[in-house]
Amino acid sequence: MKRKTSKINNVIKIKMIKAIVIVFIVFASIDNKVNAQIFAPAVKQFIEINDSVVVISNVKIIDGTGGPVQNNRDVLFVKNKIHSIGATGKIAIPKDAKVIDGTGKTLIPGLIMLHEHLFYAKPFEGDYKAVHMTYMFPKMYLAGGVTTMRTAGSIEANADLNVKNLIVQGKMTGPKMDVSTPHIEREGFIPQIQSLYGNESPERMVDYWVDKGVTSVKLYNNITKDDMTRVIKAAHARKIKVTGHLCSITYREAADLGMDNLEHTFTACSDFMKDKKEDQCDNGKLRQSLLSLNENSVELKELMQYLIKKKITLTYTPVVFEPFTNREVIPGGGIDALAPFLKEQIQGIYNSRINKDSLSIQFFKAEMKRVKQFYNMGGKLIVGTDPTGPGRTIAGYANQHLIELLIETSFTLTEAIKLSTLNGAKYLEIEKETGTVEVGKTADLVLIDGDLEKDISNIRKMEIVFKEGVGFSSKKIFDSVKGKVGLD
């Protein structure tokens, strides 16, 4: 008996020595306390955590895979990679690790949102004027938990590309960016958006922007089927995916022409317009056709099946369609971010629309049902905010509120997080690097000061947003933009 015990002790000793050696080998190469990237002072002011070895202890994890919520976990990341995850107290922690107490907090992957813009839609003569938010929006997206975003259309594509590069260089604060082309659009209702004229070559436009570094293509309301055919061919030849906010072309036609992604789920679907003219957009009639569409429509179900068969991804953007009645002026609570004159203007618009938006409420709720149906049938779904519309959707705040609206759409919490993280990563084909809280992935993480399972509005209490292991203070960033959104 005694001999047996000592034998076991010896085995344990050998195992411990092995473990210590492994830990030593893993951590011996880490000689600097700080991450290697150099940040400009403008960025540094928002950095809270910049240690190369960080552990978040005793935290709740919603890992983005859609799997069960994990309680009481320790997450260790070394430099920019997640090194180990285990039950609290059960993983090896290097002595000099920066320890963050995660008790009562929730850790989710950094959000990956795919219908974003670097411009604000300032109300203008019944419509909007795009004001480029070169300095404000990138950091606001990060403060709102977004570590990777795709711009779905650019008003100043050069500026967007430059911002992306300045962020990579540590000179600006913001997420990793997939920059799209300017909206490829013919004459329409927003003069800032038209980019294609007469016989101009759509292929040349695609090549021009891909050569400059754009990695996505965005089509808009008034393009023709010929434009779409040629753009898709040119983009796919460069291994670039094409999305579109359609109107002139039906979803079925778009599926046949080989689109990868359609924006705004079914709210831009012209397939149910009775007298739809080929290549013609009529947004009013389109909306009307959706309002009179029966939720049990066989045609709708068949269209969904067709889109699924064609492997088309739909982007769900509920924030920009949010009605007024019983809702916030700025969804997500960002009203103080607005420049004072805009705060007044938007409040005025809000006051004039409240309790007069029963059709918008109907439209909004019907879309929630359609989206859930599409998802339940196996449809591919990604999400984004689209900061346009009547100027109520603003970067960061809208991204947080989107998670709340996914719950309202009746997705479960783990589904909502997966839609906002892993699904976006898969679409962008970066899921091997980011999009979940798993060992080996990049430390793109959001630490929330509260329990998301108890109350979804805790999503607004983001404490630290880690991008590639560097922790940014969400509050410091949001505080820095107060009163500035909407200024040129």
Enumerate binding residues for Zn ion (CB under 5 A): 386
CB of 211 to Zn ion, least distance (A): 24
User: Which one, 86 or 390, has the nearer CB to Zn ion?
Assistant: 390
Q: Please list the residues that pair with 60 across neighbouring strands.
A: 106
| Residue nearer to Zn ion on the CB measure, 118 or 303 | 118
Q: Which residue is nearest to Zn ion (CB)?
A: 386
Residue (179 or 465) nearer to Zn ion, CB: 179
469: alpha, beta or left, given left = phi > 0 and alpha = psi -120 to 50?
left
CB of 386 to Zn ion, least distance (A): 4
CB closer to Zn ion out of 122 and 441: 122
Judged by CB, which is closer to Zn ion: 64, or 182? 182
Alpha-carbon span 42 to 144, nearest angstrom: 18
Q: Point out which residues pair with 314 in neighbouring strands.
A: 262, 381
Say if strands 47-49 and 470-473 run parallel, antiparallel, or are unpaired.
antiparallel
Q: For residue 169, is it left (φ>0), alpha (ψ between -120 and 50) or beta? A: alpha
Q: How far is the CB of 488 from Zn ion (least distance, A)?
A: 20
Closest by CA to 420, choosing from 164, 68, 66, is: 66
Torsion sign over Cα 92, 96, 102, 106: negative
Which one-letter amino acid corresponds to residue 125?
E
CB of 180 to Zn ion, least distance (A): 10
Q: Which two tokens stand for residue 219?
A: 């089509």
In whole angstroms, what separates CA 311 from the centre of its chain?
20
Q: Taking the complex as a whole, how short is the minimal distance between the CB of residue 275 and Zn ion, in angstroms?
A: 27
Q: How far apart are CA 131 and CA 96, in angstroms?
A: 46
| CB of 383 vs Zn ion, minimal distance in Å | 13
Our CB check for Zn ion shows the closer of 264 and 276 to be 264
Nearest residue (CB) to Zn ion, 102 versus 384:
384
Backbone angles phi, psi at 116, to 5 degrees: -115, 165
- In whole angstroms, the minimum distance from the beta carbon of 115 to Zn ion comes to 6
Longest dimension (CA), the chain: 92
125-148 as b/e, with b when 16 or more CB fall inside 10 Å? eeebbbbbbbbbbbbbbbbbbbbb
Please report how close the Cβ of residue 218 comes to Zn ion at its closest, in angstroms: 8
We find the least distance from the C-beta atom of residue 443 to Zn ion, in angstroms, to be 30
Q: Which residue has the tokens 């436009």?
A: 205
| SS3 category, 425 | helix
Where residue 170 falls (left for φ over 0; alpha for ψ -120 to 50; beta otherwise) is left
